[in-house]
Amino acid sequence: MKKLLKKFFTHMNKRYIKTHNLIFIPGSEYNYIYLDIDKYKGKPVTLSDGTSIKKGDMVIEIHVNNDTVDEVPVRKVIKVFYSETLALAKQLKSNDEFKDIKAIFGRTVLAPLTKRLGFDVFEMKSGYMKRFLKIWDNLIKIVFSSTKKDKVKFREPQEVWMSRDAIINKLGEK
């Protein structure tokens, strides 16, 4: 069953990447994070540094590369995600293709890890997207994890945000 679910998630991942034209972070060492560059379509968000995000602002939505989930041991996820965030900070600072980006965000059950890197974490409002992500992200965690079922802790998905300036200022000089 687990093998079949892995094939399903791999297929869905490839479809999503293709239909949304996702890209890896240029210069990334791990290719652990995909970027979806687009205009923001949600409700206004104010970040802890005062940055205000509204409809039409250019943002990057980050997505974990599901193909690498089983390749990165849990104990190394924070190191890999940190490295990816450093690579993104470098691109935001120096790459003209990213000059109009106002913020980076994602929806994930891994919010505790992103908070350690300085991301703002917001509760998602109840609804279809929250229910879908809770099931989807936790199933990916189970299917691609070597952890036994009885030890898997289900988490609620949350939104994580960081402004362009915050990423550059916190991580762009390292």
Q: Nearest 5°: phi and psi at 153? A: -105, 120
Structural domain containing residue 86:
2-171
Q: Which residues pair with 46 in a beta bridge?
A: 52
Are 63 and 33 contacting, i.e. CB atoms less than 8 angstroms apart? yes
pLDDT for 74 equals: 67
Low-confidence ranges of the chain (pLDDT < 70): 69-70, 74, 138, 141-154, 172-174
d(CA 155, CA 161): 18
Cα–Cα distance, 144 to 98 (Å, whole number): 32
pTM metric for this prediction? 0.82
The structural domain count of the chain equals: 1
What's residue 146's pLDDT?
Answer: 59
Strand spans (E) along 17-68: 23-24, 33-39, 45-46, 52-53, 58-64
Rg (CA), the chain: 16
Q: Distance between CA atoms of 65 and 68, rounded to whole angstroms?
A: 6
Q: Please write the tens of the pLDDT for every residue from 34-48.
A: 999 999 999 999 999
The pLDDT, as a whole number, for residue 148 is 56
* pLDDT digit string, tens, across residues 97-130: 999 999 999 988 778 888 888 999 998 887 877 7
Q: What is the DSSP string of 118-150?
A: T-EEEEPPSSHHHHHHHHHHHHHHHHH--S-GG
